[in-house]
Structure 1
Amino acid sequence: MALKRQHNMMAAFSMASMTDVIFLLLIFFMVTSTYIFPTALEVNLPQSSQQTTKKPSIRIAIDAEGNLSTAVGDAERQPMDPAELKTWLMLVKENATEEEPTVALYADETVAYGEIVKILNVGAEVDIPIVLATKPIRDKQ
């Protein structure tokens, strides 16, 4: 009498198709991420080799100790409390003879960047554009 053999079928899950899908997704994201430019990280610092011909009508200066001084036109710089800067800029803007006064910020290279940004924000609140003043690059010969 012949005995029937029982074939036990083992259930197996093939990972080959799953790894193919994962690999294709990995390639897709790698390729598409090269086309996305992180604009928040791009920093374009101003070049100081070009100088403007227009002389600033308003000057704000910060020395290495963080002392603030201001001047209008060719007048001598006067010490200023940072809390009074917004009020002073509004008064200068109201009394300005030109349509859009030019404000230059002269900051010592050791001044913290946060202090410079605070002054730029005050200018933005008053709606006066403030530019950073730089010195020209000297040729090393």
Structure 2
Amino acid sequence: MALKRHYDMTSLFSMASMTDVIFLLLIFFMVTSTFVFPTALEINLPQSSEQTALKPGTRVYIDKDQIIYASFGDHEPQALAEDQLLGFLQLVQQQQPEDFIAIYADAEVPYGRLVEVLDLGARNGLKMVLATKPAPSSAKPAGK
């Protein structure tokens, strides 16, 4: 009588290929995350209880170091020198005469510096508004 041999096949799952995929994904995300550049300016706006929800087409930013940036439409803010600001604002006024220009000034910007920029716009017939963030006490509950 012939004896039959039993070969037991054990099913093993090889984790080597899975770890390769995980490490490749990890390396991919680490490399691509270094290409992301933050484009937002750090502007700490002053608070105000009066709010108007408007989306300006032109924005002028003054950061805490008193560097002036300007943007039109959906473009990224670009740093401007003092003498370039008036030219930029006049160009915007020619292209969009009905639009207003929003000034986003950091809370640490001296009041006199802010008045200089607003006065520059007023002397040239530009419509300018000052952007603020809502005061904590001005938040109104829904339904009232």
TM over 0.5: yes
TM-score when scaled to structure 2? 0.59
TM-score when scaled to structure 1? 0.60
Mapped partners of 2:48, 2:57: distance in 1: 20
Unaligned runs of 5+ in 2: 1-46, 138-144
Percent sequence identity over matched residues?
A: 40
Unaligned runs of 5+ in 1: 1-46
Q: Name the SS for the 2:52 alignment partner.
A: coil
Aligned-partner residue type, residue 54 of structure 2: K
Mapped partners of 1:76, 1:85: distance in 2: 16
Mapped partners of 1:50, 1:108: distance in 2: 18
Alignment of structure 1 residues 95-106 onto 2, 5 Å: 95-96=95-96, 99-106=97-104
Give the number of the structure whose alpha-carbon radius of gyration is greater: 1
Aligned-partner residue type, residue 95 of structure 1: Q
Higher relative contact order (CA 8 A, sep 6+): 2
Mapped partners of 1:57, 1:102: distance in 2: 7
Q: Name the SS for the 1:70 alignment partner.
A: strand
Per-residue CA deviation, residues 64-112 of structure 1 (Å, 9 max, x unaligned), is 111000011221111011211111111111111xx42111111111111
Q: Name the SS for the 2:116 alignment partner.
A: helix
| Match in the other structure for 2:84 | 84
